[in-house]
Amino acid sequence: MKKYSREIFKTKIFKEKTTVICGPNGNKFLFSNERKIFTGFLPHSKQKLFLSSKPEPAAAPSVPPPQVVAAVAADGVYPLAKTLTLLIACRIFLGMENPNRIERLVRYFNDVTVGLHSIMVNFPSTNFYRAGKATDAIRREQMAMVRERRAAMVGGGGAMKQDILSHMIVLSDPTRKG
């Protein structure tokens, strides 16, 4: 930094080319030109876990103050909210009622969440390795749910569930039998 510039310099972090912009002027320049000059970057660990080739544009989330985050974490609200959100999503979107399966999915999603913010080292017992295994397990669970639902729809086992998964299966099948 001393050799060239104190305000801006290029380096490599974890084999990724990175430009560092320092100071209040750098922050102002960065945030005032965010969509014009700069593009968002999805770290390779997230790209690999989600098998995505390009990031989707999203609205910038609001960041609560550190005091609020500390209070919520101390009360244990965050893990409960995360579990309840996944529980509601499983019931509404997938029509899932099995609490054991939902509990497994919660564990898998917890592993993925931890792995998203870790260094991309794919060795056993690392967070990224566990996250990769968890994403594979989530995909297997989803495929099993689709197979079970298709079998139930073809077999006519009672009334068809009114959830997103059932509608997607019906729409993807031209014969409309599941």
Does residue 164 carry a pLDDT above 70? Answer: yes
Task: Flag whether 23 is in a domain.
Answer: yes
Task: Flag whether 82 is in a domain.
Answer: yes
Task: Flag whether 111 is in a domain.
Answer: yes
Q: Are 161 and 95 in contact (CB under 8 A)?
A: yes
Residues 157 and 117 in one domain: yes
Q: Are 93 and 86 in contact (CB under 8 A)?
A: no
Q: What's the number of domains the chain is made of?
A: 2
Per-residue confidence (pLDDT) for residue 53, from 0 to 100: 53
Neighbours of 111 (CB within 10 A): 20
Per-residue confidence (pLDDT) for residue 62, from 0 to 100: 63
Structural tokens at position 7? 């305000």
Cα–Cα dist 26/33, whole Å: 11
Q: Are 105 and 111 in contact (CB under 8 A)?
A: no
Which residue, among 106, 73, 109, 72, has the nearest Cα to 87 in the 3D structure?
Answer: 106
Span 139-164, mean pLDDT? Answer: 82
DSSP 161: P
Query: What's the whole-number average pLDDT of the chain?
Result: 79
The domain of 34 spans 8-41
Residues 109 and 163 in one domain: yes
Cα–Cα dist 44/69, whole Å: 27
Task: Flag whether 117 is in a domain.
Answer: yes
Q: What are the pLDDT digits (tens) for 35-75?
A: 777 766 667 777 777 765 554 555 555 666 777 767 766 66
Span 137-159, mean pLDDT? Answer: 84
Residue 143: pLDDT band with limits 50, 70, 90: very high
Task: Flag whether 157 is in a domain.
Answer: yes
